[in-house]
Amino acid sequence: MESKIENTIIIGSGPAGLTAAVYAARARLNPLMIEGEEAGGQLMITTEVENFPGFEHGITGPDLISVMRKQAERFGTRFITRNVTKVDFNVWPFKVWIRDTEYQAKTIIISTGASAKLLGLPSEKQYMSKGVSACATCDGAFFKDVEVGVVGGGDTAMEEATFLTRFAKKVYLIHRRDSFRASKIMQDRVLKNPKIEVIWNSEVLEVKGNGKEVTGVILNDTVTGAKTEKAMQGLFIAIGHTPNTKIFNSLLDMNEAGYLVTKPGTTFTKIPGVFAAGDVQDPTYRQAITAAGTGCMAAIDAERWIENKEAELHG
């Protein structure tokens, strides 16, 4: 059976996708959003968002997503809470599948975001959710009055280490070099916090545990090569993110880290009618507000592209 041809399918439901949905819905494109099984993206694992303009006193990540979603819904966005499993952009209308169900669309807006990177150690995998976590804001409260570690030297690591001092007795911030890449203000916050001890020039070689929970880590001194064991009950990995672009491999241009490449100043990918917005195409800014901004651009780009395409087809 031929499926209905949508004007636009938005894949992914963080601030980029939801903003695209608000704009596309208000442009009467009646957008279909395939929001994913972990809808809302990274803001769902963020406590306070204090830098999204319009919220003078801050808002929690999940609340921000919830109001954006309601706003998109109010103008007629339809939602499917499943993951896209396959796409075909070599045909037009474009095709998108959720397992065996096929959807067709004149335009696609990709806003699948990015996910936290891990160290890739077998012991890290073994103790994931048994003391190892990639999200302090989700799991921090489980580590009350114990000692924990945070790996990384960027803003995320600073933020997580600072946040964890609300619960943990002590936070070891483990960084592989002798200086942080984090912004000065976030570094200062960490360095002034008496509950945080920085372990410089060190990488985690192994997570130790008793089978049920983490008991410590084996550290390698990157300067001397000395190995030491440090006792701790939790380990938070905060070493950056990977864009969620696997299903677009070989279809769209990506940079070496896997971020989708868009034409500068627009949301156009190399396939006309396929647009990308938010963290999936932004290795630089990665903020909720910049994601929302590019989501707006994608909806406007899609609307104009459909108009031009229809003029071309029907004269």
Q: In the complex, which residues of this chain contact ligand NDP (CB under 6 A)? A: 119, 151-157, 159, 176-177, 181, 203, 239-241, 286
Q: Which tokens belong to 158?
A: 């600073």
Nearer to ligand NDP, 186 or 254 (CB): 186
**Contact of 158 with 187, CB cutoff 8 Å:** yes
The catalytically annotated residue of 63, 88, 138, 253 is 138
Q: Where are the beta strands (DSSP E) in 48-186?
A: 48-49, 59-60, 78-80, 86-88, 94-98, 101-110, 114-116, 132-133, 147-151, 170-174
Alpha-carbon span 14 to 218, nearest angstrom: 36
Active-site annotation holds for 296: no
Q: How far apart are CA 315 and CA 312, in angstroms?
A: 5
CB of 10 to ligand NDP, least distance (A): 23
Q: Which residue is nearest to ligand NDP (CB)?
A: 154
- Between 7 and 162, CB nearer to ligand NDP: 162
Whether 139 sits among the annotated catalytic residues: the reply is yes
138 as an active site residue: the answer is: yes
* Closest CB to ligand NDP among residues 95, 241: 241
Do the beta carbons of residue 278 and residue 294 sit within 8 Å?
Answer: yes
Q: Output the smallest distance, CB 241 to ligand NDP, in A.
A: 6
Contact 34, 11 (CB under 8 A): yes
In terms of CB distance, is 208 or 309 closer to ligand NDP?
208
**Shortest distance in whole angstroms from residue 203 CB to ligand NDP:** 6
Which of 63, 88, 100, 139 is catalytic? The answer is 139
Answer for the pair 13, 33: CB distance below 8 angstroms, yes or no.
yes
Nearest approach in angstroms of CB 287 to ligand NDP is: 7
The residues annotated as belonging to the active site are: 135, 138-139
